[in-house]
Amino acid sequence: MKQATVIGLGRSGIAAAKLLIKHDYTVTLSDSNHNPNLETQKQELETLGINVKLGDKFTPTTEDIIIVSPGVPWDISPLVKARKMGIDTIGEMELAWRYLSDIPWVAITGTNGKTTTTALTDAIFKAAGLETIGCGNIGFAACELALLETKPAWIIAELSSYQIESSQTLSPRIGVFTTLTPDHLARHKTVENYATIKAKLLRNSRYQIFNGDDRYLHNLGESDWQDATWTSVEGKQHLQGNPELGIWIEDNWVIFRGEKVLQADSLKMPGDHNLQNLLMAVAIAKLAGIENDSIASAVASFPGVAHRLEYICTYEGVDYINDSKATNYDAADVGLTAVKAPVILIAGGEAKEGDDLAWLNTIQQKAAAVLLIGNAGTQFADRLKSVGYTNFEIVETMSNAVMRSIELAKQHQAKVVLLSPACASFDQYNSFEHRGDDFRELCQALI
């Protein structure tokens, strides 16, 4: 029998192991961690015939294939060695593609905007009567779809740079690049490496869609993408590439290649960035052959995405908004720009590398006060002071921030209290969802 090793005992690793067992591989699942929860999973998986090694320092030997979970760095020495040995070394997403390539895929990547674009696209396809399943960063692990008896009509995948990096042949019907800003530099080293990895997905796609209002995407090399669909919320005159293939907003109409599709203000989510997400989702739908009526009805009823400018409640005339998914400076800048000033901003957590100047500038313009939580509190305080902004407080916890925001909102006549952290969550929470849920519960308790 063929030998396979799967590295990483997360959801995607387990799904990959089950898929390989189904296709007659002898499977070893390796994870460097060891704790009671993993021990329980190990026992369950071994009943399926999967050999599980916990606390394992993987070394390639005689495997036919090695599957890497998204959280495992692609350049660690055992994987470099495996590739030099000629062992087929791929990510979980690539494995799924090999068993699902007969189904059309929409693959959405980018630094920010992926989740909203993916969710809106899914809603439009479903309104058109097309069965879709989401995978990747949202919904299922991709290999879980390959295990289903009945497959969907379309797969809509939200893909990170990690998943693209380890996929050699993944070739979507439609590829989308939402935004590009420096992120994950601890893993990819330079923004050029990061951009090249994401652009590979678009090069492998039959149809390409780019956010034409993103200044970083202009640097990808416009001449390489003449047949792509570029978007602009600022009108046809701002389109990159071939304007006749583009999608834009003009006089409140979304116009795809000269055809009026729907009115832009039918999307109830705030901010130009969400209009940009709308353009990308509509372009996907049109390229997939979906009728305008289905697109319009889905957009008009779309509720938005949890943790991304999610309205929670109004307390004493102040709107409380959860933007916990803003885990980097650019996303937090977009969130702060989208809401009405003056704002009481809650920020902080586990800081990331990146350029914070645009975010700091928006804070100066719109934030009446900033409440700092988590490990980044002192670092962010120093950055705010460096640009001359002094109306901040280090409050450490979310509970303290919500309670203090009530007083500050009255004092500054603020219209909004916004959680938009510009940070990862792992100093105090399991995930950005966990952080956003905590904020939601604290806010709802006020009323």
Give CATH superfamily name and number for 2-86. Answer: NAD(P)-binding Rossmann-like Domain (3.40.50.720)
Tell me the whole-structure pTM to 2 decimals.
Answer: 0.81
Tens digits of per-residue pLDDT, 343-377? Answer: 999 999 999 988 999 999 999 999 999 999 999 99
Q: Please provide the CATH number assigned to the domain covering 95-300.
A: 3.40.1190.10
Digit-coded pLDDT (tens) for 41-74:
999 999 999 999 999 999 999 999 999 988 788 8
Range name among 251-260, 352-361, 377-386 with the lowest pLDDT average: 352-361
Of 97, 118, 174, nearest in space to 304 by CA: 118
What angle, rounded to 10 degrees, do the helices at 11-22 and 36-46 form? 10
Task: Examine residue 342 and say whether the peptide bond preceding it is cis (omega within 30 degrees of 0).
Answer: yes
Q: With bands split at pLDDT 50, 70 and 90, how would you rate the model's confidence at 132?
A: very high
Where exactly does CATH 3.40.1190.10 map onto the chain? Answer: 95-300
Residue span(s) of the chain under CATH 3.40.50.720 come to 2-86
Identify the helix (H) or strand (E) that includes residue 231.
Answer: strand 229-232
pLDDT of residue 185: 46
- Contacting residues for 304 by C-beta, under 8 A, at least 6 apart: 116, 268, 269, 310, 311
- Residue 69 CB neighbours (<10 A): 24
Q: At what angle do helices 272-287 and 114-127 cross, to 10 degrees?
A: 40
User: Which residue type is seen at 116?
Assistant: T
Q: Do 69 and 10 meet the contact criterion of CB atoms below 8 Å apart?
A: yes
d(CA 81, CA 66): 12
* Cα–Cα dist 105/161, whole Å: 17
Determine the 3-state secondary structure of 430 from DSSP.
Answer: coil
Provide the 3-class DSSP secondary structure of residue 188. Answer: helix
271 token code pair = 């901010």
Outline which parts of the chain fall under CATH 3.90.190.20. Answer: 310-446
Q: What is the CATH number of domain 310-446?
A: 3.90.190.20
